[in-house]
Structure 1
Amino acid sequence: MRFLPLIVGCWSVSCWAVDPFEDFHEYGQLTDAEIHEIHKGEMFYGDAEFGFIVTSGNTDSTSFKLRGNVYQDFEHWRNQFKFDSLYRRDVDSETGESTVSAQRFFASAQSNYKVGSKDASLFLYADYEDDEFSGLEYKTTVATGYGNRLYRGVKNTVDFDIGPGLYHSRSQKNEATPEVAGENVTGYLLRLALQWERKVSKRTRFNQFVSAEQSLSGHNSRLKSETSLISQIMGQLSLKFAYLYRYNSKPESDKRSYDAELSATFVYSFN
């Protein structure tokens, strides 16, 4: 079988500087808190992540991953916007039949109002996910609560958010009875999010993000974990290796309780 991978990333003009690491600060030399301090008052800053893989042989396939992380940091407010999309299409070389094996879109927004100590805040969080293969047409979560820094060290920081919220989802229509609308489910939940960041070297850092939504209404509880290692290549371009794990305590019929995804992508930081 012939296997041809192609990974396409972004390129920065600053890569042509005498010192290719001169402008690098988003991943490695500075912590998240220091990055926010540098960009305080700016309308937008953050990073974009992109990966593209094409294979050919017995099965032709195309995989596409696009992700973004955008911040706003003002005197009393810090806002964060995320989006994550994944698409995969497979074509059988013998029959020519084309099937989509992955199609997911996720977006979230969080606004933190800074109170009391330097790292304390009150937050409002909302997300929306449309996963074609989850058994749901969509799901959305809204939560509010309190956030702060659990630990601050020379190379490590650990932050958390915790608070109550609401969950709403709609199941996909049954193929046998397409005229019947999907079932709506709404319930209360408790959301907890943890972010651990460790500086591995001057230009490499390790991130561990975990979010858990515990249902308070007897519905499904969810967990999402991303483990990543990000290393700067040159200029504003970095390479990211990540492992994403998602768990659903009560999946839809014929669906597994977990999904896992291993990826290698380029990350381009902007301001």
Structure 2
Amino acid sequence: MKKILPTAAVLVALPACAFADDGWSGAGELGFAAARGNAKSENLNAKLAFKKEDDQWKDNFYLTALRSKGEVTVATLVDGQVQNVKNYDTTANRYEAGASVGYKFDERSYLVGALRYENDDFSPFEYQAVVSLGYGYTVLKNASDELSFEAGPGYKRYKPVDVLGPETAGDPPAPVRHTFDSEGEVVGRGLVAYKHLFNETTAFVDTLLVEAGSDNTFLQNDAGLQVAINKSFALKAGYQVRHNSDVAPGIKKTDQLLTTNLVYNFGGG
């Protein structure tokens, strides 16, 4: 974790130099918390997002990372008896990247191609990768509000995580591990993005992503309240909900994440 924190800070800051002079704008977010004493934990989350829009194109790209370590209690076989032992171990490890390219038909409607890839050690799936092509429409865009929709078909490739079954085998007996191959399916992708400016310093953003397929439907909603400190820096409180409709037995379908981050804004805004 000590090596990851400065590396993440550098990655968040790099785009300010690389893209600000080329018409790009965006933001880097970084949040870190550590606890010592009766409890021991470390949590790091980072996000880098940038965009560029002109009369013909609207492009977006983002990278996110989430890593956490903490004390967990695990059942361990000691001298033939099951005992609960506390370990300091990784409890979250997720990386995600996404991009979209939109070709404008006019000021409101556009054709959009999108890509998304995630790798999560604590998800129902080892990875999920989606490519899609769809239609986008900006319903509302003024000084205080912006609302847009995207919808279209896509293709998803994913691999369910291995799970330990209730049966045992071997001597001494151990739970049987069930492994799964990668799978693919046609999905329908939908995106709803909303932004509201309360005033010059305070903004609310909410983005809902849906990837619906016959085998699994993935939903992710990101809501955030951002308050500017100055032209470059802001504080942001975020709440994320992720849901998979079809998971292996013993795995929860829904994950929630609360974050408080320092945001660095760069480029033309």
TM-score, length of structure 1 as denominator length:
0.78
In the TM superposition, residue 96 of structure 1 has moved relative to its aligned partner by 7.5
Alignment of 1:45 onto 2:31: no
Alignment of 1:237 onto 2:233: yes
Distance in 1 between the 2:250 and 2:205 partners? 33
Alignment of 1:114 onto 2:104: yes
Are 1:134 and 1:252, in contact at CA under 8 Å, matched by a contact in 2?
Answer: no
In the TM superposition, residue 227 of structure 1 has moved relative to its aligned partner by 1.1
Poorly superposed stretches of 4+, deviation over 6 Å: 7-10
Are 2:108 and 2:139, in contact at CA under 8 Å, matched by a contact in 1?
Answer: no
Match of 1:184 in 2: 182
Alignment of 1:98 onto 2:88: yes
Over 3 Å counting, the alpha-carbon distance change for 1:235 and 1:202 in structure 2 is closer
Structure having greater relative contact order (Cα 8 Å, sep ≥ 6): 1
- What RMSD over aligned residues (CA atoms) do the two structures have, in Å? 2.5
Code of the residue aligned with 1:97 in structure 2: it is N
Distance in 2 between the 1:173 and 1:96 partners? 23
Match of 1:207 in 2: 205
Match of 1:254 in 2: 250
Are 2:99 and 2:116, in contact at CA under 8 Å, matched by a contact in 1?
Answer: yes
Code of the residue aligned with 1:190 in structure 2: it is G
Higher strand share: 2
- Greater shift after overlay, 126-135 or 73-82? 73-82
User: Aligned ranges for residues 1-271 of structure 1 at < 5 Å?
Assistant: 42-91=22-71, 97-115=87-105, 117-174=106-163, 182-215=180-213, 218-271=214-267
In the TM superposition, residue 59 of structure 1 has moved relative to its aligned partner by 2.1
Q: Which sections of structure 2, spanning at least 5 residues, go unmatched?
A: 10-19, 73-84, 165-174
Code of the residue aligned with 1:149 in structure 2: it is T
- % same residue: 22
Over 3 Å counting, the alpha-carbon distance change for 1:150 and 1:101 in structure 2 is same
Secondary structure, counterpart of 1:97 in structure 2: strand
Secondary structure, counterpart of 2:40 in structure 1: strand
TM-score, length of structure 2 as denominator length:
0.78
Code of the residue aligned with 1:164 in structure 2: it is P
Code of the residue aligned with 2:181 in structure 1: it is E
Q: Which sections of structure 1, spanning at least 5 residues, go unmatched?
A: 1-6, 11-38
